[in-house]
């Protein structure tokens, strides 16, 4: 079964918008069960940079890269906060999981941020671009 979820991080700028998506407020509850294979992929003009924080099952780690980027993980809960580092071009984030393919948003402007979380076939996206 292939599930495609199209979402965009190209929202209007809002002052005082809370982009936090910690496990405590995301509704994601870490439970026993099998790990999912999750592949993070970026699309867009080659060389577009991003950096941020990746949280896998509650464990935080820095992440950065350039398009095209692809890395695989095993986790029950995947949360990422990313900021675009370059002025021109776009970066699109995709997740491929055991449940399907998900678009996690597109960043178009330098400093634009996208925060998304995935858990058991559901994705949540918050953005300022």
Q: What's the maximum distance between 2 C-alpha atoms anywhere in the chain?
A: 43
**In sequence order, what are the residues at sequence separation of 6 or more whose Cβ sits closer than 8 angstroms to the Cβ of residue 59?**
none
How far is residue 65's CA from residue 126's CA, in Å, rounded to a whole number? 20
| Secondary structure of residue 24 in the 3-state scheme | helix
Three-class SS string for 26-54?
HCCCCCCCCCEEEEEEEEECCCCEEEEEE
Q: For every one of its 129 residues, what pLDDT tens digit does the chain have, with 9 covering 90 and above? A: 334 343 444 333 333 334 444 444 455 666 777 899 999 999 999 999 999 999 999 889 999 999 999 999 999 999 999 999 988 889 999 999 998 999 888 888 898 888 898 988 888 887 666
Which helix (H) or strand (E) element contains residue 23?
helix 23-26
Q: Is the peptide bond before 68 cis (omega within 30 degrees of 0)?
A: yes
Residue reference for tokens 């634009």: 112
């Amino acid at each position: 079964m292939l599930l495609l979820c199209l979402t965009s991080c190209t929202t209007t700028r809002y002052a005082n918008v809370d982009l936090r998506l910690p496990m405590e407020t995301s509704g994601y509850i870490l439970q026993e069960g099998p790990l999912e294979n999750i592949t993070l992929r970026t699309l867009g003009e080659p060389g577009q940079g991003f950096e941020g924080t990746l949280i896998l099952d509650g464990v935080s780690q820095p992440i950065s890269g350039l398009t095209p980027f692809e890395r695989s993980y095993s986790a029950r809960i995947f949360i990422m906060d990313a900021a675009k580092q370059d002025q021109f071009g776009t970066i699109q984030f995709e997740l491929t999981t055991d449940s399907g393919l998900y678009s996690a948003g597109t960043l178009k402007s330098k400093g634009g941020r996208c925060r998304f979380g995935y858990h058991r076939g559901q994705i949540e996206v918050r953005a300022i671009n």
